[in-house]
Amino acid sequence: MAKVHLCNITVMDNPSQFLNPFQFEITFECIEELKEDLEWKMIYVGSAESEEYDQVLDSVFVGPIPEGKHMFVFQADPPNVSRIPENDAIGVTVVLLTCSYRGQEFIRVGYFINNEYSDPELRENLPSPPQFDKVVRNILASEPRVTRFKINWEETNPQENGTNSEQTGTGTSTSGETENNTPADIPAFNENSNSWATMECS
């Protein structure tokens, strides 16, 4: 049984300028004290074609953690624009939030992002190279893709349990259970809600 339940994530400062920091308010609950830290990562998917362009925006350790409900704000700088392929700079991409315990990833939350120019003229005639200071980032906060993985919460050597084999990226692993699957056609980015909640924390 999982010892950590994700209760809520609120996407802050959304929509925002592309060069502004990412900010997520994360609420989670521990059903018992954790002796070691949780590792949270924020990953920007630079291109759907290859994980080579994924960027870890930040990685933070939270803990040790007593039993109960906890909240923190996870903030990270925007991606390094020089590492984003020009053809993938504008349009739809993904940001991922992951959490691991003892080196074992047990939850992954993905959000679609729509990057577009605020100026209609620039939207019609895309400049080359991209002008990121004029791009607006809109995170589709109301429809996250949530994948959970079974891990051994007691095992000190995560390589021995072999329960989590997924690599960093946007692919779906058969070792995880995916919720809120997004249909193949990307939803319109006109949602007003900036948060979502599971039913685990009451």
- What pLDDT does 159 receive? 54
- What pLDDT does 62 receive? 87
Return the sign of the alpha-carbon dihedral for residues 94, 46, 135, 41. Answer: positive
Output the CA angle 108-114-118, nearest 5 degrees: 150
Q: What distance in Å separates the CA atoms of residue 17 and residue 24, rounded to the nearest whole number?
A: 15
- What pLDDT does 155 receive? 58
Q: What distance in Å separates the CA atoms of residue 61 and residue 34, rounded to the nearest whole number?
A: 13
Under CATH, to which class is 4-197 assigned?
mainly beta
Cβ-count burial 156-175 (b if 16+ within 10 Å, e if not): eebeeeebbebeebeeebeb
- What pLDDT does 156 receive? 58
DSSP string across 150-164:
---SS-S-HHHH---
How far CA 131 is from CA of 35, 76, 92, 147, in Å, comes to: 46, 21, 16, 34
What pLDDT tens digit does each residue of the chain (202 aa) get?
889 999 999 999 999 999 999 999 999 999 999 989 999 999 999 998 889 999 999 999 988 889 999 999 999 999 999 999 999 999 999 999 999 999 999 999 999 999 999 999 999 999 999 999 999 999 999 989 999 999 999 855 545 444 444 433 333 333 344 444 333 333 333 333 343 333 344 4
Domain boundaries defined on the chain: 4-197
- What pLDDT does 136 receive? 97
Q: What distance in Å separates the CA atoms of residue 73 and residue 61, rounded to the nearest whole number?
A: 13
Asked whether the beta carbons of 147 and 179 are under 8 A apart, the reply is: yes
